[in-house]
Amino acid sequence: MKTSLFALVGIATLTAAASIGCAAPTDADGTEEDESSEDALTQRQLPGVAAVEIAEVRGQTTLSAQTLGAPKKVKRIVSIVRRLRANEPQPRCAESDTTRLTFLNAAGKKVATVDAYCSGFGGISFANGSPGYAVKFNTQAVEDAKNAPFQVGDALWGISKIELSKADSPEKRTLTGGQMTNVLAGFDLEEVPDASASFPRCRPSHSVTLVRGTKNVAFTSFICGSTSAATAPASVKASFTAVDPAAGDDRPSLASGAIKLDPRPVIRAFSNNP
Protein backbone atom coordinates (compact mmCIF):
# COMPACT_ATOMS: atom_id res chain seq x y z
CA MET A 1 0.00 0.00 0.00
CA LYS A 2 1.15 3.52 -0.64
CA THR A 3 2.41 5.69 2.19
CA SER A 4 -0.28 8.30 1.63
CA LEU A 5 -2.99 5.74 2.35
CA PHE A 6 -1.59 4.99 5.78
CA ALA A 7 -1.23 8.70 6.43
CA LEU A 8 -4.96 9.07 5.81
CA VAL A 9 -5.68 6.14 8.09
CA GLY A 10 -3.60 7.79 10.80
CA ILE A 11 -5.39 11.12 10.35
CA ALA A 12 -8.78 9.42 10.52
CA THR A 13 -8.00 7.73 13.83
CA LEU A 14 -9.77 9.86 16.46
CA THR A 15 -8.98 7.87 19.56
CA ALA A 16 -5.96 7.91 21.78
CA ALA A 17 -3.95 8.85 18.71
CA ALA A 18 -4.82 12.47 19.35
CA SER A 19 -2.40 12.57 22.25
CA ILE A 20 0.41 10.79 20.44
CA GLY A 21 1.53 13.43 17.96
CA CYS A 22 4.71 12.42 16.17
CA ALA A 23 6.24 10.62 19.12
CA ALA A 24 6.69 6.86 19.03
CA PRO A 25 5.17 4.78 21.84
CA THR A 26 7.54 4.36 24.74
CA ASP A 27 7.91 2.27 27.84
CA ALA A 28 7.80 3.80 31.30
CA ASP A 29 11.53 4.48 31.22
CA GLY A 30 11.18 6.58 28.06
CA THR A 31 12.76 4.07 25.67
CA GLU A 32 11.01 2.80 22.57
CA GLU A 33 8.94 -0.31 23.07
CA ASP A 34 10.45 -3.76 22.68
CA GLU A 35 10.10 -4.81 19.05
CA SER A 36 10.93 -8.48 19.63
CA SER A 37 7.27 -9.51 19.99
CA GLU A 38 5.46 -12.16 18.03
CA ASP A 39 4.38 -9.38 15.64
CA ALA A 40 7.96 -8.84 14.43
CA LEU A 41 8.52 -9.65 10.79
CA THR A 42 10.33 -12.95 10.34
CA GLN A 43 12.44 -14.59 7.68
CA ARG A 44 9.36 -16.66 6.85
CA GLN A 45 7.49 -13.48 5.94
CA LEU A 46 10.54 -12.00 4.18
CA PRO A 47 12.18 -15.03 2.55
CA GLY A 48 15.59 -14.72 0.99
CA VAL A 49 16.41 -11.24 2.29
CA ALA A 50 20.14 -10.64 1.77
CA ALA A 51 20.35 -6.87 2.23
CA VAL A 52 18.38 -3.82 3.30
CA GLU A 53 18.48 -0.40 1.66
CA ILE A 54 17.79 2.43 4.09
CA ALA A 55 16.75 5.59 2.26
CA GLU A 56 15.79 9.05 3.43
CA VAL A 57 13.05 10.38 1.18
CA ARG A 58 11.13 13.60 0.67
CA GLY A 59 7.99 12.99 -1.32
CA GLN A 60 9.10 11.07 -4.40
CA THR A 61 12.73 12.22 -4.09
CA THR A 62 15.39 10.01 -2.53
CA LEU A 63 17.70 12.25 -0.51
CA SER A 64 20.19 9.53 0.44
CA ALA A 65 20.41 5.75 0.44
CA GLN A 66 22.65 3.20 2.09
CA THR A 67 22.59 -0.58 1.64
CA LEU A 68 23.49 -2.92 4.49
CA GLY A 69 24.40 -6.55 3.89
CA ALA A 70 26.24 -7.69 7.01
CA PRO A 71 24.12 -10.61 8.28
CA LYS A 72 23.61 -9.36 11.84
CA LYS A 73 22.59 -5.89 10.62
CA VAL A 74 20.08 -7.36 8.18
CA LYS A 75 18.64 -9.71 10.79
CA ARG A 76 18.29 -6.81 13.23
CA ILE A 77 16.43 -4.58 10.75
CA VAL A 78 14.07 -7.40 9.82
CA SER A 79 13.34 -8.08 13.49
CA ILE A 80 12.40 -4.52 14.43
CA VAL A 81 9.69 -4.08 11.78
CA ARG A 82 6.42 -5.31 13.23
CA ARG A 83 2.84 -5.47 12.15
CA LEU A 84 0.51 -3.03 13.89
CA ARG A 85 -2.40 -4.51 15.75
CA ALA A 86 -5.86 -3.21 14.88
CA ASN A 87 -6.35 -1.54 18.26
CA GLU A 88 -3.03 0.31 18.26
CA PRO A 89 -3.21 4.10 17.88
CA GLN A 90 -1.32 5.75 15.05
CA PRO A 91 0.11 9.28 15.01
CA ARG A 92 -1.77 12.11 13.34
CA CYS A 93 1.08 13.55 11.32
CA ALA A 94 2.92 13.25 8.04
CA GLU A 95 6.59 14.21 8.12
CA SER A 96 8.17 15.84 5.08
CA ASP A 97 11.33 13.72 5.36
CA THR A 98 10.74 10.04 6.06
CA THR A 99 12.53 6.69 5.93
CA ARG A 100 12.06 3.91 3.39
CA LEU A 101 13.29 0.37 4.01
CA THR A 102 13.74 -1.84 0.96
CA PHE A 103 14.43 -5.52 1.54
CA LEU A 104 16.49 -7.12 -1.24
CA ASN A 105 17.25 -10.70 -2.19
CA ALA A 106 20.67 -11.96 -3.27
CA ALA A 107 19.98 -10.89 -6.86
CA GLY A 108 19.30 -7.34 -5.72
CA LYS A 109 15.56 -7.65 -6.43
CA LYS A 110 12.98 -6.15 -4.10
CA VAL A 111 11.29 -8.54 -1.69
CA ALA A 112 9.34 -5.91 0.23
CA THR A 113 9.29 -2.16 0.88
CA VAL A 114 8.36 -0.29 4.05
CA ASP A 115 7.33 3.35 3.54
CA ALA A 116 7.05 5.40 6.70
CA TYR A 117 5.00 8.57 7.11
CA CYS A 118 5.78 9.49 10.73
CA SER A 119 8.17 8.26 13.44
CA GLY A 120 8.52 4.77 12.01
CA PHE A 121 4.81 4.28 11.35
CA GLY A 122 3.94 3.28 7.81
CA GLY A 123 3.01 0.38 5.58
CA ILE A 124 4.69 -2.60 3.98
CA SER A 125 4.14 -3.82 0.43
CA PHE A 126 5.40 -7.11 -1.00
CA ALA A 127 6.92 -7.59 -4.44
CA ASN A 128 5.13 -10.92 -4.91
CA GLY A 129 1.74 -9.27 -4.61
CA SER A 130 0.91 -10.48 -1.11
CA PRO A 131 -1.38 -8.09 0.79
CA GLY A 132 0.43 -5.32 2.64
CA TYR A 133 -0.41 -3.98 6.08
CA ALA A 134 0.37 -1.23 8.56
CA VAL A 135 3.70 -1.54 10.37
CA LYS A 136 5.90 0.22 12.89
CA PHE A 137 9.69 0.05 13.06
CA ASN A 138 12.18 1.10 15.68
CA THR A 139 13.68 4.30 14.26
CA GLN A 140 16.61 4.32 16.67
CA ALA A 141 17.61 0.80 15.65
CA VAL A 142 17.58 1.90 12.00
CA GLU A 143 19.76 4.92 12.80
CA ASP A 144 22.16 2.74 14.78
CA ALA A 145 22.50 0.34 11.84
CA LYS A 146 23.09 3.22 9.41
CA ASN A 147 25.77 4.75 11.61
CA ALA A 148 27.53 1.49 12.48
CA PRO A 149 31.00 0.92 10.96
CA PHE A 150 31.11 -0.60 7.49
CA GLN A 151 31.54 -4.37 7.67
CA VAL A 152 32.80 -6.83 5.07
CA GLY A 153 29.32 -8.28 4.70
CA ASP A 154 27.93 -4.88 3.72
CA ALA A 155 29.73 -5.45 0.41
CA LEU A 156 29.76 -9.23 0.09
CA TRP A 157 26.05 -9.94 -0.28
CA GLY A 158 24.60 -11.36 -3.47
CA ILE A 159 28.02 -12.17 -4.95
CA SER A 160 27.49 -13.79 -8.35
CA LYS A 161 31.07 -14.15 -9.58
CA ILE A 162 34.60 -14.20 -8.20
CA GLU A 163 37.64 -13.49 -10.36
CA LEU A 164 41.06 -14.69 -9.19
CA SER A 165 44.50 -13.70 -10.44
CA LYS A 166 48.02 -14.43 -9.38
CA ALA A 167 51.16 -12.31 -9.55
CA ASP A 168 53.51 -12.95 -12.46
CA SER A 169 50.94 -15.13 -14.20
CA PRO A 170 48.65 -14.27 -17.12
CA GLU A 171 46.18 -16.93 -16.05
CA LYS A 172 42.94 -16.06 -14.32
CA ARG A 173 40.20 -18.10 -12.72
CA THR A 174 36.49 -17.28 -12.65
CA LEU A 175 34.23 -18.88 -10.06
CA THR A 176 30.44 -18.93 -10.08
CA GLY A 177 27.67 -20.71 -8.22
CA GLY A 178 28.82 -23.38 -5.80
CA GLN A 179 32.44 -22.85 -6.83
CA MET A 180 32.43 -19.64 -4.76
CA THR A 181 31.31 -21.20 -1.48
CA ASN A 182 34.70 -21.98 0.05
CA VAL A 183 36.26 -18.68 -1.00
CA LEU A 184 33.38 -16.69 0.51
CA ALA A 185 33.58 -18.78 3.67
CA GLY A 186 37.12 -17.49 4.12
CA PHE A 187 35.78 -13.99 4.91
CA ASP A 188 34.42 -12.85 8.26
CA LEU A 189 31.31 -10.96 7.13
CA GLU A 190 31.04 -9.12 10.45
CA GLU A 191 34.62 -7.82 10.38
CA VAL A 192 35.29 -4.08 10.15
CA PRO A 193 38.24 -3.33 7.84
CA ASP A 194 41.12 -1.74 9.75
CA ALA A 195 41.82 1.52 7.94
CA SER A 196 44.92 2.20 10.03
CA ALA A 197 46.75 -1.00 9.07
CA SER A 198 49.94 -0.88 7.02
CA PHE A 199 51.03 -3.29 4.31
CA PRO A 200 54.42 -4.30 2.86
CA ARG A 201 55.43 -2.37 -0.24
CA CYS A 202 55.48 -5.37 -2.50
CA ARG A 203 53.20 -6.93 -5.02
CA PRO A 204 50.50 -9.24 -3.63
CA SER A 205 50.72 -12.88 -4.57
CA HIS A 206 46.96 -13.28 -5.09
CA SER A 207 44.15 -10.88 -5.99
CA VAL A 208 40.40 -11.43 -5.74
CA THR A 209 37.62 -9.42 -7.38
CA LEU A 210 34.08 -9.92 -6.11
CA VAL A 211 31.21 -9.21 -8.48
CA ARG A 212 27.48 -8.71 -7.93
CA GLY A 213 25.54 -8.92 -11.16
CA THR A 214 27.75 -7.09 -13.66
CA LYS A 215 29.42 -4.72 -11.17
CA ASN A 216 32.59 -5.10 -9.16
CA VAL A 217 31.78 -4.50 -5.49
CA ALA A 218 34.98 -5.42 -3.63
CA PHE A 219 38.63 -6.24 -4.10
CA THR A 220 41.02 -8.06 -1.82
CA SER A 221 44.63 -9.14 -2.16
CA PHE A 222 47.23 -10.79 0.01
CA ILE A 223 50.78 -12.04 0.14
CA CYS A 224 51.33 -15.75 0.69
CA GLY A 225 54.57 -17.54 -0.02
CA SER A 226 52.94 -20.95 -0.09
CA THR A 227 52.31 -22.48 -3.48
CA SER A 228 49.76 -24.96 -2.22
CA ALA A 229 46.82 -24.78 0.16
CA ALA A 230 48.34 -27.60 2.22
CA THR A 231 51.23 -25.43 3.36
CA ALA A 232 49.41 -22.09 3.54
CA PRO A 233 48.41 -20.57 6.90
CA ALA A 234 44.77 -20.57 7.97
CA SER A 235 44.68 -16.76 8.14
CA VAL A 236 46.58 -13.89 6.53
CA LYS A 237 46.25 -10.11 6.62
CA ALA A 238 44.63 -9.03 3.38
CA SER A 239 43.97 -5.65 1.83
CA PHE A 240 40.24 -5.06 1.31
CA THR A 241 38.40 -2.33 -0.59
CA ALA A 242 34.64 -2.05 -1.08
CA VAL A 243 33.16 0.24 -3.75
CA ASP A 244 29.70 1.49 -4.61
CA PRO A 245 28.57 -0.34 -7.77
CA ALA A 246 26.08 2.42 -8.54
CA ALA A 247 28.78 5.10 -8.75
CA GLY A 248 30.98 5.94 -11.71
CA ASP A 249 34.56 4.98 -12.51
CA ASP A 250 35.90 7.61 -10.12
CA ARG A 251 33.78 6.25 -7.28
CA PRO A 252 35.26 6.63 -3.81
CA SER A 253 35.67 3.51 -1.71
CA LEU A 254 32.96 2.67 0.80
CA ALA A 255 35.62 1.13 3.03
CA SER A 256 39.28 0.22 2.76
CA GLY A 257 41.66 -1.47 5.15
CA ALA A 258 43.02 -4.73 6.46
CA ILE A 259 40.96 -7.84 7.09
CA LYS A 260 41.72 -11.42 8.07
CA LEU A 261 41.27 -13.91 5.26
CA ASP A 262 41.72 -17.65 4.87
CA PRO A 263 43.94 -17.84 1.77
CA ARG A 264 43.66 -21.59 1.28
CA PRO A 265 40.39 -21.65 -0.73
CA VAL A 266 41.78 -18.95 -3.01
CA ILE A 267 45.03 -20.82 -3.58
CA ARG A 268 43.19 -24.10 -4.08
CA ALA A 269 40.63 -22.61 -6.48
CA PHE A 270 43.28 -20.85 -8.53
CA SER A 271 45.97 -23.50 -8.71
CA ASN A 272 43.85 -26.62 -8.39
CA ASN A 273 46.46 -27.84 -5.95
CA PRO A 274 45.25 -29.64 -2.80
The CATH number assigned to the domain holding 228 equals 3.30.1490
Name, in order, each residue with C-beta under 8 angstroms of 235's C-beta and a sequence gap of 6 or more: 260, 261, 262, 263
Whether residue 238 is found in the same domain as residue 166:
yes
d(Cα 197, Cα 202) in Å, to the nearest integer?
Answer: 15
Whether residue 32 is found in the same domain as residue 139:
yes
Whether residue 71 is found in the same domain as residue 156:
no
* Phi (first) and psi of residue 182, to 5 degrees: -70, -35
Whether residue 42 is found in the same domain as residue 87:
yes
Q: Which of 21-30, 231-240, 249-258 shows the lowest per-residue confidence on average (mean pLDDT)?
A: 21-30
Strand order in the sheet with 172-175: 172-175, 161-166, 206-212, 215-222, 236-243, 253-261
User: Given a cut of 80, is residue 182 above it in pLDDT?
Assistant: yes
User: Given a cut of 90, is residue 171 above it in pLDDT?
Assistant: no
Whether residue 92 is found in the same domain as residue 171:
no
Q: Which of 138, 128, 126 is nearest to 54 (CA)?
A: 138
Reported residue count of the chain is 274
Give the pLDDT score at 76: 94
**Residues 259 and 152 sit within 8 Å (Cβ to Cβ):** yes
Whether residue 112 is found in the same domain as residue 225:
no
Question: Which of these three, 147, 165, 198, is where a domain ends?
Answer: 147
Give the pLDDT score at 1: 43
Whether residue 123 is found in the same domain as residue 208:
no
Q: What is the pLDDT of residues 197-224, one digit of tens each?
A: 988 888 899 999 999 999 999 999 999 8
Whether residue 133 is found in the same domain as residue 43:
yes
Distances 127 to 73, 79, 112 between C-alpha atoms, Å: 22, 19, 6
- Dump the DSSP string for 196-253: T----SS--SEEEEEEETTEEEEEEEE----SSTTTS-S-EEEEEEEE-TTS-TTPPE
Whether residue 40 is found in the same domain as residue 22:
yes
Count of domains for the chain: 2
Instruction: Look at 5 and 173; give whichever has higher pLDDT.
Output: 173
Question: Which of these three, 112, 147, 182, is where a domain ends?
Answer: 147
Whether residue 72 is found in the same domain as residue 178:
no
Whether residue 7 is found in the same domain as residue 131:
yes
d(Cα 76, Cα 145) in Å, to the nearest integer?
Answer: 8
**Residues 87 and 67 sit within 8 Å (Cβ to Cβ):** no
Residue 106: in which H helix or E strand, if any?
A: none
d(Cα 202, Cα 180) in Å, to the nearest integer?
Answer: 27
The amino acid at residue 195 is A
- The boundaries of the domain holding residue 175 are 152-271
Give the pLDDT score at 249: 58
Give the pLDDT score at 60: 86
Whether residue 114 is found in the same domain as residue 11:
yes
Give the pLDDT score at 96: 86
Q: At 39, is the pLDDT very low, low, confident or very high (cuts 50, 70, 90)?
A: low
